[in-house]
Structure formats: structure tokens, C-alpha cells
């Protein structure tokens, strides 16, 4: 294979990788949900999932490390390092550990992106501590 063809293929692979994982080297556009609703109950679909989606977690964790983060069931099942969340115990949850520095394994999430604001991590912690309801 000649060098030009090799470089073209390498460039296409790099573009495909970056397009599939939007958080590589870019900051989240905004922090869509930083506080729970007035009732104090944190919703997965209304509060947590938008944070994970905006940070690029749902795109990158389409099986990366065996983990999917698009549903509560997927978070409870987890990946190669066990369940991502422990309902009722945020501090024992791998998801929270990976959002903090230093994480117990691998890189801090979101990988290659700007760390989530403390307010977003608090929303995720509160949801887990409230029992990680599928709401």
C-alpha cells in the first residue's frame, strides 16, 4: 500500500472516530440541568440523561468498556468494572467515581472533554442516593 493511500485511510478512520465520540477535546455546550425540580425528586429522563447526553457519554459509551449509559437498566448492569451505579449509594457508584479526580481506574469522564460541573455531579449523586429510579 502506498503512503498516500495509507494516510487517506488513516484520516478517514480518525474522522469516523471523532464523529462518533463528540466529547473528544471539546467542552460540553452547556450544563442543561443543574438542579432538581422543586419537589426535590431527581428524574433520570429529565435531569440525569440530559447531563450524560450533553457531555457525550451516551455516544462514547455505546459499549466502550462494556458500558452503555442510555438507560437506568444499562447503568445498573454496568460494564467491565461492574455496575455503573449502586442505587441508594452514590459514593460506591463507579459512575460518580469516574466523574471525579482521580478516578479509581482509567481516565476521568468525560474522556477527553471538560469535567462536568460540580452542580451536574450533584444532580447525578442525588438521583442515585434517591434510589436511581427509572423516572
Q: How far apart are CA 4 and CA 32, in angstroms?
A: 43
Torsion of CA 110, 113, 64, 84, to 10 degrees: 0
Res 9: pLDDT: 54
| Residue 24 included in any domain | yes
Question: Is the residue at 135 inside a domain?
Answer: no
pLDDT of residue 129: 97
pLDDT for 118:
95
* Total number of domains in the chain: 1
Q: What is the pLDDT of residue 112?
A: 84
Q: Which helix (H) or strand (E) holds 11?
A: helix 3-20
CA distance 99 to 91: 11
In a domain, 106, yes or no: yes
Q: pLDDT below 70 — which residues of the chain?
A: 1, 3-39, 61-62
Residue 134 lies in a domain: no
- Cα 8 from Cα 18, distance rounded (Å): 16
**What does the pLDDT read at residue 15?**
37
> What range defines the domain where residue 11 resides?
3-129
Amino acid at each position: 500500500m502506498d503512503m498516500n493511500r495509507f494516510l487517506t485511510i488513516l484520516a478517514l478512520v480518525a474522522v469516523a472516530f471523532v464523529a462518533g465520540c463528540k466529547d473528544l477535546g471539546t467542552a460540553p455546550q452547556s450544563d442543561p440541568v443543574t438542579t432538581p425540580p422543586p419537589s426535590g425528586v431527581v428524574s433520570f429522563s429529565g435531569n440525569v440523561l440530559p447531563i450524560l447526553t450533553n457531555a457525550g457519554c451516551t455516544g462514547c459509551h455505546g459499549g466502550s468498556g462494556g458500558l452503555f449509559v442510555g438507560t437506568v437498566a444499562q447503568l445498573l448492569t454496568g460494564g467491565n468494572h461492574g455496575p455503573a451505579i449502586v442505587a441508594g449509594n452514590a459514593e460506591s457508584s463507579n459512575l460518580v467515581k469516574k466523574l471525579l479526580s482521580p478516578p479509581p481506574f482509567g481516565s476521568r469522564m468525560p474522556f477527553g472533554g471538560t469535567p462536568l460541573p460540580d452542580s451536574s455531579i450533584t444532580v447525578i449523586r442525588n438521583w442515585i442516593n434517591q434510589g436511581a429510579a427509572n423516572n
